[in-house]
Structure 1
Amino acid sequence: MRFDLLTPRAIVAGALVIAAFMVSLCGVVVYQARADALDRARDTTRNIALIAERDIERNFELYSLSLQAVIEGIHNPEIMGASPKLRHEALFDRAATASYLGSILVLDETGRVKLDSLTDEPITMSFADRRYFTVHRERHDAGLFVSDPYHSRLRAGSPSIALSRRISKPDGSFGGVAMVAIRLDYFHELFSGLSLGPHGSIALIGRDGVMIMRQPYAAEVVGRNISQASTFKRFMSAPEGSFTGKSTIDGVGRLYYFKHLSNLGLIVMVAAAESDIYATWRRRTLVIGSLMAAFAVAFVALALVLAGQLRRRMRAESELALLARTDGLTGLNNRRTLGEILDQEWRRARRTRSVFSLLFVDVDRFKAYNDIYGHQAGDDALAAVAKCIGENLRRPGDSAARYGGEEFLVVLPDTPAQGAEAIAERIRLAISDLHIEHAESEFGCVTASIGAAAWIPEDDGDMTAVIRAADQALYASKATGRNKVTLFGRQPAHAPFEGAPG
């Protein structure tokens, strides 16, 4: 079965397929753009974390070297035997005056201040309760220790953390601690200078889960233990990584990147809010999606309009073709179409050696009917007669045509003489049963005379022979009283059929 691409249904179906393909393609592009936005955000958070990591590690390394220099100086008798001013200059280099850096203190084994980088006369105060002191007293291998946030006793409660190292006596016993305080303002300024988006976040967290600093800054968050948070558990699952999740602090969904600063026991976390990551993507998706949807709808609407126009054109062409093949008054085939049908069926009958039958139907005394009742009534009568003929043709292959004036021709393929005569009789009775008044008719109503002929074509046979036979049978019906059926035919050996005119 051939599929016509120019039918209205095919045009609409094609438009729907094309529109669906365009929308799907747009969806794939938009989805890929979303994935690209996530990848860019992942790279950005990694780069920001790297910046923060390098800055923190560089400064902490400098502070650690300063503490190491202090410890080495304490063990140098020449330095410790010098005047207080020379000893101070030798022990505390210029790193002690760096921004955000508090005092470098040397604490003895009881936790009391032994040396202070900011003054030659250290204050009398004990820090034996601080974790940065007790950890070294309890462990000789603590190394560089980074404390949790605390409020400084020397700087009016300024939030700080401490870096501390153990001082060991010559015999290896605990001899005190060297420590330096770093104000949390350092991390606050560092993090606030990094671009994270309106809802982004960056934090420095101890491995014990204590929050050292977080941006956006909130004083109540500093020092909070988040070790039970699902995000922190993900931080502890690998040395570094990336994942999406919701913050336990503000409930915002973010893309997290984290990395452990293994030498310091700290974790740097950078998180970009999903709303910021996809903000530009959402705006572009809205614009592109709206335009694509509008284009798809317009495309389908245009196809519907085109299909409607094509449907109307095809209907008009079909009607014109039908008008060209049918009789305008009766709705039956016209003379031109009759010629095509006769030629086709005659050829088929000759090829298959089957019976070919014709009926000639003529309305009796039709001229007189027109003269009495007028041409309009005559046209109505012809239409009624044509309807009777059409309603009595039961098989798809049977057809009828207006031959001219009040004459009709019925083509009956594969129909023997008896069958043709039976159909003719049904048509005659149906016309008579219309009871259309006809004052000039001997029957008082409109009637029809019918001539029938049945033929088996020979190879050299002529179709006009059967037409003449049906016409002769019609004249026999007229001559013998009208309103009757007369059969004319012959057998294959040219012998007349039984029931010839008589």
Structure 2
Amino acid sequence: MIAALGALALMQMRRDAMDNAGEASANLALTLERSITRNLQIHELAIRGVVEALQDGTIMSQVPALRQRLLFDRSINAEDMGSLLVTDATGKLLLDSQQWPPRPVNVSDRDYFQSHRDASNVGLFLSRPFQPRLTPENKSIGISRRLSDPDGSFAGIVVGTLRLNYFRKLFDGVSLGAGGTLTLLRTDGTIIMRRPYEAESIGRDISASPSFAPLLNGTQGSFVGVAAVDGVQRLYSFRRIPGFPLIVVVGRATDDVLAPWYRRAWLFASLIAAMDAAIIALSVLLSRQWRRRAEMEEHLRWMVNTDGLTGLGSRRALDDAADVEWRRARRHGQPLSLLMLDVDYFKQFNDKYGHQAGDDALAAVGACIQRHIRRPGDYAGRYGGEEFAVLLPNTDAPGAAVVAETIRAAVQALEIPNAAGPDGQLTVSVGVATDSNSAGSAQAFSELRAFLRAGDEALYLAKRAGRNCVARFGAEAAALVP
């Protein structure tokens, strides 16, 4: 139970660690999204300003130097903007923010030109990464708008280039752990920028990766996935860039996120294991003590309830058994018989052969009695001195007399010498009393003490009849003499 509760606590701690990391990543994604959005909007305003200026005849009629300033003045506020260009319908430069006259460049092979040439409803287009032709700058992306003639036909584009170095500098200022990543993607799966920076990953298409599909589910969210670039499992939080086909993704390696949890989990689990081991050890020790105590109690109970000499029940155990059997017989209306046995001339036997021989004789008589009471409910005990008693549940008077005679004959058959006896052998006298439990019967006793007293009287009757015989309470002993 302690281990289960500990496991539940650890799982909750793990869930909390992932939730906290997800919340921090989501906040970072929001911060990056707002920074990128703000800069892209400045670029868009610069492009829109050029489109509007091209439609103003007053501006276009100015001398080239002034016209350059009026057309491209807004672009100086855009961070990491490369060139701002105006082309004709063939892709040839008409205006260039870098110089006048424009550089001899044709951009008809660029996707930002072809998209507007092929469709009139593209709106603002954001290109795939490309390497500028005339400058040694790092890769850039193009943000373009279509120019149309009065009849709606394609007249060219206005395009502003944004150096990818802007995103690289923005991402480099963020710490996400050894396995953390920051990624800017187009919605078609093209990587614009990634941290850690790898030049070969820029422009890579990861749209077929399982970790890309969740990025298209809504404008923001979090999920756990395996990166397509390096195969590391990460907790991702993403946000769409509003107004642009871009997604910023913050990824934190689950190993980094859970590293503190792993340390706490090992410590916590070790403590739980130590506690469980201690509890188990204490339980084992306590169990052993209880077992020893139970064994001691059982031994003491055996010593109290067993006569050490004969192995039969003690007087106390005999009294308890008599009480139990008496109540049971009364409850079920069954007969109960009692045999009272006494070793004949035992004092003389002790005087002649010694107390050790007397003890051996009593032990032999006890063993003989035990061998001849075979039913599980029958009980034999040492009543005191050389006297024994046998309880025979559910046994009537004739049946009890048969058992008594069997025991008497078996003791005589032991052929233990006794010079004090008339037969020269050790013998016993047996008295039989039976409580019939029948209303009005002469053999029905009102209480247990009267029943036991009847057994004693039957034994005295056997003694008076000459010993080595069986006498039944209420009957003549001579009738039962063998």
- TM superposition score category, shorter chain reference: 0.7 to 0.9
Q: Indicate if the aligned counterparts of 1:158 and 1:183 stay in contact, CA closer than 8 A.
A: yes
Q: Give the structure 1 partner of residue 288 of structure 2.
A: 308
Question: Pairwise CA RMSD of aligned residues?
Answer: 3.1
Q: Give the structure 2 partner of residue 204 of structure 1.
A: 184
Question: CA offset at residue 170 of structure 1?
Answer: 4.8
TM-aligned CA distance change 1:464 to 1:234, over 3 Å = closer
Name the amino acid aligned to 1:209.
G
Aligned: 1:100 with 2:80: yes
Q: Give the structure 2 partner of residue 457 of structure 1.
A: 444
Deviates more, 1:126-135 or 1:106-115: 106-115
TM-aligned CA distance change 1:102 to 1:363, over 3 Å = same
Q: Give the structure 2 partner of residue 214 of structure 1.
A: 194
Q: Give the structure 2 partner of residue 486 of structure 1.
A: 470
TM-aligned CA distance change 1:434 to 1:217, over 3 Å = farther
Q: Give the structure 2 partner of residue 46 of structure 1.
A: 26
C-alpha distance in 2 between matches for 1:250 and 1:84: 51
TM-aligned CA distance change 1:170 to 1:501, over 3 Å = closer
Name the amino acid aligned to 1:462.
A
Deviates more, 1:100-109 or 1:229-238: 229-238
Cα displacement string for residues 251-274 of structure 1 (whole angstroms, at most 9, x for unaligned residues): 222333444435222233333323
C-alpha distance in 2 between matches for 1:143 and 1:348: 104
Aligned: 1:29 with 2:9: yes
Q: Indicate if the aligned counterparts of 1:350 and 1:457 stay in contact, CA closer than 8 A.
A: no
TM-score normalised according to structure 1 size? 0.83
TM-aligned CA distance change 1:443 to 1:120, over 3 Å = farther
Question: CA offset at residue 146 of structure 1?
Answer: 0.8
TM-aligned CA distance change 1:190 to 1:60, over 3 Å = same
C-alpha distance in 2 between matches for 1:192 and 1:230: 26
Q: Give the structure 2 partner of residue 401 of structure 1.
A: 381
TM-aligned CA distance change 1:211 to 1:370, over 3 Å = same
Q: Give the structure 1 partner of residue 365 of structure 2.
A: 385
Name the amino acid aligned to 2:444.
P
TM-aligned CA distance change 1:298 to 1:351, over 3 Å = closer
Cα displacement string for residues 60-97 of structure 1 (whole angstroms, at most 9, x for unaligned residues): 11111011112222333332333433323322225426
Aligned: 1:68 with 2:48: yes
Q: Indicate if the aligned counterparts of 1:246 and 1:254 stay in contact, CA closer than 8 A.
A: yes
* 1:142-153 matched pairs, under 5 angstroms: 142-153=122-133
Q: Name which of 32, 55, 58 aligns with 1:78.
A: 58
Cα displacement string for residues 145-198 of structure 1 (whole angstroms, at most 9, x for unaligned residues): 111000111321521111122233455443332222111111122223334332
Deviates more, 1:351-360 or 1:390-399: 351-360
Q: Name which of 228, 232, 243 aligns with 2:212.
A: 232
Name the amino acid aligned to 2:18.
L
Give 3-state SS (helix, strand or coil) of 1:154's partner.
coil
* 1:426-445 matched pairs, under 5 angstroms: 426-436=406-416
Name the amino acid aligned to 1:37.
A
Q: Indicate if the aligned counterparts of 2:234 and 2:252 stay in contact, CA closer than 8 A.
A: yes
Give 3-state SS (helix, strand or coil) of 2:167's partner.
helix
Aligned: 1:321 with 2:301: yes
Give 3-state SS (helix, strand or coil) of 2:128's partner.
coil
C-alpha distance in 2 between matches for 1:353 and 1:201: 91
Question: CA offset at residue 100 of structure 1?
Answer: 2.2
Cα displacement string for residues 382-431 of structure 1 (whole angstroms, at most 9, x for unaligned residues): 22221221222223443222222222122334433322222122223333
Name the amino acid aligned to 1:280.
P
Name the amino acid aligned to 1:270.
V
C-alpha distance in 2 between matches for 1:348 and 1:60: 101
Question: CA offset at residue 487 of structure 1?
Answer: 1.7
C-alpha distance in 1 between matches for 2:232 and 2:214: 17
Deviates more, 1:198-207 or 1:38-47: 38-47
* 1:154-233 matched pairs, under 5 angstroms: 154-156=134-136, 158-170=138-150, 172-233=152-213
Question: CA offset at residue 351 of structure 1?
Answer: 7.5
Q: Indicate if the aligned counterparts of 1:358 and 1:467 stay in contact, CA closer than 8 A.
A: yes
Q: Indicate if the aligned counterparts of 2:138 and 2:165 stay in contact, CA closer than 8 A.
A: no
Q: How many matched pairs?
A: 474
Q: Which runs of 5+ in 1 are unaligned?
A: 1-20
Q: Indicate if the aligned counterparts of 2:25 and 2:237 stay in contact, CA closer than 8 A.
A: yes
Aligned: 1:470 with 2:454: no
Q: Indicate if the aligned counterparts of 1:432 and 1:446 stay in contact, CA closer than 8 A.
A: yes
Q: Indicate if the aligned counterparts of 2:39 and 2:79 stay in contact, CA closer than 8 A.
A: no
Q: Which runs of 5+ in 2 are unaligned?
A: 436-442
Q: Give the structure 1 partner of residue 262 of structure 2.
A: 282
Cα displacement string for residues 196-220 of structure 1 (whole angstroms, at most 9, x for unaligned residues): 3322333222233222112222111
Identity %: 43
TM-aligned CA distance change 1:159 to 1:356, over 3 Å = closer
C-alpha distance in 2 between matches for 1:446 and 1:459: 36
C-alpha distance in 1 between matches for 2:100 and 2:415: 142
C-alpha distance in 1 between matches for 2:453 and 2:152: 139
TM-aligned CA distance change 1:206 to 1:447, over 3 Å = same
Q: Indicate if the aligned counterparts of 2:21 and 2:257 stay in contact, CA closer than 8 A.
A: yes
Give 3-state SS (helix, strand or coil) of 2:102's partner.
coil
Q: Indicate if the aligned counterparts of 2:37 and 2:242 stay in contact, CA closer than 8 A.
A: no
Q: Give the structure 1 partner of residue 69 of structure 2.
A: 89
TM-aligned CA distance change 1:436 to 1:341, over 3 Å = same
C-alpha distance in 2 between matches for 1:143 and 1:189: 28
Name the amino acid aligned to 1:457.
A
TM-score normalised according to structure 2 size? 0.86
Deviates more, 1:176-185 or 1:451-460: 451-460
Question: CA offset at residue 222 of structure 1?
Answer: 0.8
C-alpha distance in 2 between matches for 1:355 and 1:141: 113
Give 3-state SS (helix, strand or coil) of 2:249's partner.
strand
